[in-house]
Amino acid sequence: MNGPSISRPSAPQVADIEHEGVRYVQDTHDSRNGDQAGGYLAAIDIASGLRLWRLKVYEVPGAQVAGQPTLPRYFRSMQLLPGAQALEIINEAGGIYRVDLSTRMSTQVGGPPVSAPVQPKLPPKAEAD
């Protein structure tokens, strides 16, 4: 008999961004490489279609929560900041990150801390008679 499963709605559809010949896309994880579930940005050369680089924008906390696998944490939105040569990415937990496109560095600029624990919802306890 299998234990309880975790289900979630599909990941939000986040449009790719094209800027100065590069397409920026949310990249999926590859469990064969030990990747976390979500949080990656990839830069693709538009002309050749080759991936230029890949960046972990944020950590997805914990491998296990209350004995269950951690749910993926994907991008909710991504936008190019005017004149900043940077992307702003908001994840499903409300974390706000700025990715500097020239240095390929990610900085959290708002939202809950990455280390905030995820509290699983437990069923109510039965009252004693």
CATH of residue 25: 2.40.10.480
For residue 48, being part of any structural domain is answered with yes
**What is the average pLDDT score of the chain?**
80
The one-letter amino acid code at 113 reads P
Which residues have a Cβ under 8 Å from the Cβ of 105 and sit 6 or more positions away?
Answer: 99
For residue 118, being part of any structural domain is answered with no
Give the pLDDT confidence of 39-74 residue by residue, as tens digits.
999 999 999 999 999 999 998 876 555 556 667 788
Structurally, how many domains does the chain consist of? 1
The one-letter amino acid code at 115 reads S
Beta strands at 40-45 and 51-56: parallel, antiparallel or unpaired:
antiparallel
CA–CA dist 102, 71 (Å, integer): 31
For residue 26, being part of any structural domain is answered with yes
Q: Calculate what percentage of the chain has a pLDDT beyond 70.
A: 68
For residue 1, being part of any structural domain is answered with no
For residue 100, being part of any structural domain is answered with yes
pLDDT at 120: 39
For residue 122, being part of any structural domain is answered with no
DSSP letter at 31? G
Provide the domain limits for residue 28. Answer: 17-62+72-110
Compute the CA torsion angle 116, 29, 55, 8 (nearest 10 deg): -40
For residue 7, being part of any structural domain is answered with no
Higher pLDDT, 67 or 84: 84
CA–CA dist 71, 64 (Å, integer): 9
Is the confidence at residue 121, as pLDDT, over 50?
A: no
